[in-house]
Amino acid sequence: MSDLETGKIKHLHTTISEETFEKIRSLSKKYGNHSKTIEKAIDLLELHEGLAIPENKQDLDPDMIWGFMRSELNMVAVGKTTFLSYIDDIPEKAILNNIATEIIEWFYNYKKLTDLSLEEVIKAIKIIWMSANYFRSVRCERVGAGQYKMVFTHDLNDLKYSQYWGKYFQTFFETKLGKEVKILCRPQIFHMEVQDRPKEGK
């Protein structure tokens, strides 16, 4: 919690260039006011310098999550056009051996995947993959006991992008969590239903 939120305010008297002031004023439209914008900038600078260690990654905003993913997991940014070329003929082994488990466990401070609820796993996927800018939106809905619907949207207008991520998450849920998964892919969107496998004999 910031000093402004707790009422402990420190006055800062300084001068900045007109260019920097205009940047702060522009960013304040997003972050609320000049003070909050400066606090946000300090948070991101701490992150960049490795000075800030979050107690709960779920409380971080997308920029900070992506920053920690880069610094702690050695993640790299890849242009979307380049990414599409990578997945043209991606081998099945690469999808099977994906690192979704490691990323989700990292998100929950290395709590084991098997100790997380299905809801927690789905929440992590939504936050992490949107923070990394893979999707424009991820909508999640619980439709029954142990049953969820997810809708992923993106800007690439390419069916193979939807098919790749649909297969990626289907493989993850089926092989790592033993769930039953159905996917439906479109060029800018794909739907996924995740549920417990029916018990034998039923």
pLDDT tens across 55-98, in order? 677 777 777 787 778 777 778 778 777 888 888 777 777 788 88
Whether 42 is in a domain gets the answer yes
Same domain, 45 and 84: no
Same domain, 33 and 92: no
Torsions phi, psi for 175 (to 5 deg): -85, -35
Whether 63 is in a domain gets the answer no
Same domain, 45 and 136: no
User: Of 19-23, 126-130, 180-184, which gets the smallest average pLDDT?
Assistant: 19-23
| 136-190 confidence digits (pLDDT tens) | 999 999 998 889 999 999 998 889 999 999 999 999 999 999 999 999 999 999 9
Same domain, 44 and 99: no
Same domain, 41 and 85: no
Same domain, 87 and 183: yes
Residue 10 has pLDDT above 60, yes or no: yes
Whether 68 is in a domain gets the answer no
Cross-strand pairs, 184: 191
State if pTM tops 0.75: no
Residue 51 has pLDDT above 70, yes or no: no
Same domain, 84 and 131: yes
Q: Say how far apart CA 105 and CA 16 lie, in whole Å.
A: 42
Whether 202 is in a domain gets the answer no
Q: Which amino acid is at 65?
A: I
Whether 65 is in a domain gets the answer no
Sheet holding 189-196, edge to edge: 137-144, 147-153, 189-196, 179-186
Residue 23 has pLDDT above 70, yes or no: yes
Same domain, 107 and 186: yes
Contact (Cβ atoms closer than 8 angstroms) between residue 76 and residue 93: no
Same domain, 96 and 190: yes
What is the span of the domain harbouring residue 91?
Answer: 80-196
Residue 175 CB neighbours (<10 A): 14
Whether 167 is in a domain gets the answer yes
| Residue 69 neighbours by CB under 8 Å, 6+ apart | 75, 103, 106, 128, 131, 132
Whether 129 is in a domain gets the answer yes
4, 11, 86, 99, 104 from 172: Cα distances, Å: 42, 51, 19, 9, 11
